[in-house]
Amino acid sequence: MPLRVGLTAKPHPHALAVLTEAADWLRDRGATVVVAAADDRMEAAMQVDVLIAFGGDGTLLSAANAVVQSGVDVPVLGVHLGHLGFLTEVRRPELLDALGAVLAGRTWLETRLLLEGRIEREGTVAATRLALNDIVITRGRLSRMIELDVSVNGEHVCHVRADGLIVATATGSTAYNLSAGGPVVHPAVDAVLLTPIAPHTLTNRPIVLPASADIVLRPSLDGPPADVVATFDGQHGEPLHAGDVVTIRRADRVLRLLRTTTRTHFEMLREKLNWGS
């Protein structure tokens, strides 16, 4: 049975042109190709053996989101056509070699921890969603301080007064967490990070927790319901209401990232962060 390969791209002429080149190359070698627009990624994920995303980390996150929300266990491969990009592994000159490796089975998988965020409202679950990088509590339309009570495993940790709070995986440590001053954590480390955004108390520092931690956030809301938002991987936002409780824990499933090169995490960090240059 021919390999079924899903292809999806950032809606940009260059990314779409590279996707078209890859689709033609794969079809010429007997693969079944499913091309998915942004709003078709979940449906495509349920039809393929592997999903390849062309673009930057945002495109890969969107593809990963489609996979996890659809409930399938399809591995995702990222082709880097963006700017910085910590998740998209394959560079443009490596594309055909990478596609050949996928067809030949010369690949391996990395499993990445997922977070499950649950919003409880008046005794019921208002929303549940998974995230690969992070779940962020922040103001919606106005850039103002928010306050949150943070508990871990039933124990009160602190009261945060900041522009927001990031709950990140090790995978997401090089995303919003990094720009907010949080630590870079190797993706093999089983950890979750709590990083305040511009804290109004300078002693509120990032905290590294075991991935088994149950985190409960209770925002203090003094504005309209849409004023404070829980954002999942920067892809989906859920407005919070007064009295809402956000519970974050390790998800029961993981995301599988497909690897085709021997580039290590430290090589990637040196390249992306210009260490030693």
- Rounded to whole angstroms, how far apart are CA atoms 190 and 64? 19
Radius of gyration of the chain (CA): 20
Q: Could you give the residue numbers annotated as active site?
A: 57
The β-bridge partners of 239 are: 229
Residue 71 bridge partners (DSSP): none
- Distance (Å, whole) CA 232 – CA 136: 7
List the one residue out of 110, 120, 145, 112 whose CA is nearest residue 214. Answer: 120
Report residue 212: phi and psi, to 5°: -80, -5
- Look up residue 133 and give its two tokens: 């990088």
Give the chain's count of helices (H) and strands (E).
6, 17
Give the largest CA-CA distance in the chain: 60
Query: What is the dihedral angle through the alpha carbons of 58, 82, 92, 64, rounded to the nearest 10 degrees?
Result: 0
Tokens of 101: 């490796």
